[in-house]
């Protein structure tokens, strides 16, 4: 299920990096409500604690969750929702209709005061009806529904529904793909004997993907198999989930287009049960790597310092190393050029070392990210080269010659 345009669009790739920070934050909820309607009993699943029935310790309405809500409007009509809070201020989900199918899509944003205007879509067509409420309670939502902007408001109340049957393994919660360059958030809820509902958002190589659906539980594993976008692919989207002690191993067993993801975006990877701050590291091992061995790598890292080392390493998501000889310059060593995929001329670095302990390194560094201005930071431990670049470095910067060079002593 894709979110329809809500002012997000192509900014998803940037906002997804912020998810790692939003997911780790909590805040105290307020206690205001918009409308009071009589409480109603919902047949079937037990009400009350929702995801927390399976150990999920949500402490803020800003935390990601997948939760089933049921109740009625004051005019007697049933309201049955599957609501997804993505943790970045956006809500989506589905509304169950009389035929027992998730017919309509729900889309909205959480304002700073935790108020929500939830819109309803039929496919890509927006319907006139609206929901307004305060998302200040994880178990009960009270608010107003209008058939159209001009219609009289009708109060509604829906309560969180827990799963049913014997308690399955603890799938519930928010799981994180921790990486320097990529991001991923997997949210699982509405866990039942044989299935759970998930919402997945990924960014790989600056390309994004997003999907939600119900996976079938098979012991400590689960499978999702569905045709997601019939108009684009006849292939089914297949995702396999393996639950381990502190993470979920997710394997995508179909193409990106089958799951509706952008080019190069894919879901496979380890999703941890907590946010882990990852650090970029330059490779070593042989002449096809940046350094011949760990000792050479460690000497470079110690000389350059933690902050500057990170600036070089973080711009080498993809790198290529090769033997370098320049007799006229008296240079003989290994040259490594790297970049972050999709961020040419803004996230690139270059590194040269010889076998005698000589290091040369340069990396693009933002001067003013909002203004889109950059500089090149240059480092070397060779005195004759303190104020000049090797020829290989000059060739490297031909795509961005306007960036000023900062020579570091």
Instruction: Answer whether 232's CB lies under 8 Å from 257's CB.
Output: yes
The answer to whether 23 touches 275, Cβ cutoff 8 Å, is: yes
* Amino acid 138: pLDDT: 83
**For the chain, counts of helices (H) and of strands (E):** 4, 22
Residue partners of 346: CB distance under 8 A and separation at least 6:
364, 366, 374
pLDDT at 97: 75
Helix or strand or coil: residue 383? Answer: helix
End-to-end CA gap in the chain: 53
Residue 254 has what pLDDT? 92
The string of pLDDT tens digits covering residues 266-304 is 999 999 999 988 889 999 988 788 998 999 999 999 999
**Residue-level pLDDT at 167:** 53
Q: What is the pLDDT of residue 8?
A: 33
Q: Residue by residue, what is the 3-state secondary structure of 150-216?
A: CCCCEEEEEEEECCCCCCCCCCCEEEEECCCCCEEEEEEECCCCCEEEEEEEEEECCEEEEEEEEEE
Per-residue model confidence (pLDDT) at position 3: 44
Tell me the whole-structure pTM to 2 decimals: 0.71
**Which ranges of the chain have pLDDT less than 50?**
1-59, 165-166
Query: Can you tell me the distance from the alpha carbon of 319 to that of 34, in angstroms, rounded to the nearest whole number?
Result: 55
pLDDT, tens digit (0-9, with 9 covering 90-100), for 42-89: 333 333 333 333 334 444 667 899 999 999 999 999 999 999 998 888
d(CA 122, CA 155): 22
What secondary structure does DSSP assign to 10-63, as a single string? GGHHHHHHHHHHHTT---------S--------SSSPBS-GGGGGT-----TTS
């Amino acid at each position: 299920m894709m979110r329809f345009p809500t002012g997000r669009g192509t900014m998803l790739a940037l906002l997804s990096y912020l998810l790692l920070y939003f997911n780790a934050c909590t805040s105290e909820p307020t206690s205001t409500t918009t409308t009071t309607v009589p409480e109603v009993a919902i047949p079937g699943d037990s009400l009350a604690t929702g995801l927390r029935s399976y150990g999920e310790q949500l402490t803020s309405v800003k935390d990601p969750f997948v939760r089933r809500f049921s109740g009625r409007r004051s005019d007697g009509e049933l309201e049955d929702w599957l609501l997804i809070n993505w943790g970045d201020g956006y809500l989506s989900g589905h509304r169950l209709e009389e035929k027992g199918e998730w017919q309509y899509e729900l889309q909205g944003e959480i304002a700073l005061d935790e108020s929500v205007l939830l819109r309803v879509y039929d496919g890509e067509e927006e319907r006139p009806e609206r929901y307004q409420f305060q998302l200040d309670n994880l178990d009960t939502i009270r608010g107003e529904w209008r058939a159209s902007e001009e219609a009289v408001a009708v109060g509604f109340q829906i309560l969180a529904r827990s799963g049913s049957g014997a308690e399955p393994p603890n799938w519930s919660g928010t799981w994180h793909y921790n990486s320097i360059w990529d991001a991923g958030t997997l949210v699982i809820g509405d866990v039942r004997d044989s299935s759970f509902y998930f919402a997945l958002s990924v960014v790989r190589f600056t390309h994004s993907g997003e999907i939600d659906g119900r996976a079938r539980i098979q012991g400590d594993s689960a499978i999702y198999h569905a045709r997601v976008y019939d108009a684009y692919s006849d292939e089914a989207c297949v995702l396999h989930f393996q639950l381990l002690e502190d993470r979920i191993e997710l394997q995508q067993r179909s193409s990106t287009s089958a799951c509706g993801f952008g080019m190069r975006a894919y879901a496979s990877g380890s999703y941890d049960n907590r946010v882990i701050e990852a650090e970029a590291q330059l490779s070593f091992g042989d002449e096809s790597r940046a350094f011949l061995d760990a000792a050479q790598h460690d000497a470079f890292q110690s000389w350059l310092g933690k902050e500057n080392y990170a600036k070089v390493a973080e711009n080498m998501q993809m790198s290529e190393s090769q033997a370098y000889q320049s007799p006229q310059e008296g240079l003989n060593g290994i040259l490594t050029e790297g970049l972050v995929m999709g961020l040419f001329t803004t996230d690139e670095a270059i590194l040269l070392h010889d076998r005698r302990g000589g290091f040369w390194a340069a990396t693009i560094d933002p001067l003013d990210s909002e203004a889109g201005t950059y500089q090149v930071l240059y480092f070397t431990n060779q005195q004759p080269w303190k104020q000049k670049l090797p020829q290989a470095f000059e060739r490297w910067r031909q795509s961005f010659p306007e960036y000023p060079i900062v020579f570091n002593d």
